Amino acid sequence: MSSARIPLVAGNWKMNFDHLEATYFVQKLAWLLRDAHFDYKQVEVALMPTFTSIRSVQVLVEADKLRINYGAQSVSVTNQGAFTGDVSADMLAHLGCTYVIVGHSERRKYHPEDDANIVDQVRAVLTAGMQPILCVGESMEERRKGIQLDFAVGQVHDVTRDLSDEEAEKLIIAYEPVWAIGTGLVATPDTAQEAANAVRSDLRQTFGAKVADKVRILYGGSVSSKNAVELIGQPDVDGFLIGGASLKVDELAKICRLTLKTVTSRR
């Protein structure tokens, strides 16, 4: 974490919670953080519900003027038309989404989302005025071969090579080694830092220091309140993308509080 970037704690709910459960969760998270005098200016909090819950979350956030941001977990690459089951970036932007997760390993695995499609999703999200949270990261096989950094940086590069400086600085990159997602096998702080630093160095080479220093790089993969402090203490780790632990409201609130405490104690 660097003082130049506001850390982001983002929950990826995947296919969990209907709209009533989502509303209840957001309300409770807001209460827990309010009771803790949480300072949203120093640490940003965001949730990524399913498509069916986004409208309910929007209504609650707007009615109660909550400081919690929200977004979606994927997006169509086209804007409208005969694409059954798809949801466009404009539709998400009109629901007040700030972020869209792009290229999550589960999307890459279970859906036909190849590199070209991911580039198009990033472009669609940016065009609609939102920010993509681009997920990259190696499998255990790539790690065993020792090519993990080249792999993650290559995934970033595939997307960034066609972006302008203005577009690139809106990217959020989540380094999520596939072997750490949902497994309880968390990357060590050094491993997370090494990958985040490699990604930032590549951004620096492509776009220069001004852009590279702005882009937030998150770590994702079995984050919990037990490992969050050490991870956020790394200079290039600017927050978290959290799956399992983001489904437990007390645990997520704790991660938010620990992140804030670590950030403020180091500023």
C-alpha 253/C-alpha 67 separation (Å) is 14
Determine which residue in the list 26, 75, 181, 218 makes contact with ligand PEP, applying CB under 6 A: 181
Q: Which of 44, 104, 138, 142 is catalytic?
A: 104
Tell me which of 187, 212, 232, 242 binds ligand PEP, using CB under 6 A: 242
What's the maximum distance between 2 C-alpha atoms anywhere in the chain? 52
Query: Taking CB under 6 A as the rule, does residue 71 contact ligand PEP?
Result: no
Query: In terms of CB distance, is 9 or 203 closer to ligand PEP?
Result: 9
Other CB atoms within 10 A of residue 140 CB: 14
Q: Structure tokens of 99?
A: 């972020």
Contacts for 11 with CB less than 8 Å, ≥ 6 apart: 46, 47, 48, 242, 243, 246, 247, 252
- Number of helices (H), then strands (E), belonging to the chain: the values are 12, 8
What are the residues facing 99 on neighbouring strands?
Answer: 71, 131
Distance, C-alpha 191 to centroid of its chain = 18
Our finding on whether 102 is near ligand PEP (CB under 6 A) is: no
CA atoms of 44 and 239, how far apart (whole Å): 9
Q: Are 119 and 158 in contact (CB under 8 A)?
A: yes
Q: Shortest distance, CB of residue 204 to ligand PEP, whole angstroms?
A: 25
Q: With CB under 6 A as the contact rule, which of the stretches 60-68, 163-171, 218-226, 231-239 interacts with ligand PEP?
A: 218-226
- Catalytic residue check, 104: yes
* Site stretch for ligand PEP (CB under 6 A), options 55-63, 66-74, 137-145, 235-243: 235-243
Residue 221 in the binding site for ligand PEP (CB under 6 A): yes
Q: Which of residues 157-176 bind ligand PEP (CB under 6 A)?
A: 176
Residue 7 or 244: which CB sits closer to ligand PEP? 244
Q: Which is nearer to ligand PEP, 167 or 238 (CB)?
A: 238
| Residue appearing with tokens 């400086």 | 165
Catalytic residue ranges = 104, 176
Instruction: Using CB under 6 A, list all residues that contact ligand PEP.
Output: 12, 176, 181-182, 220-223, 241-245
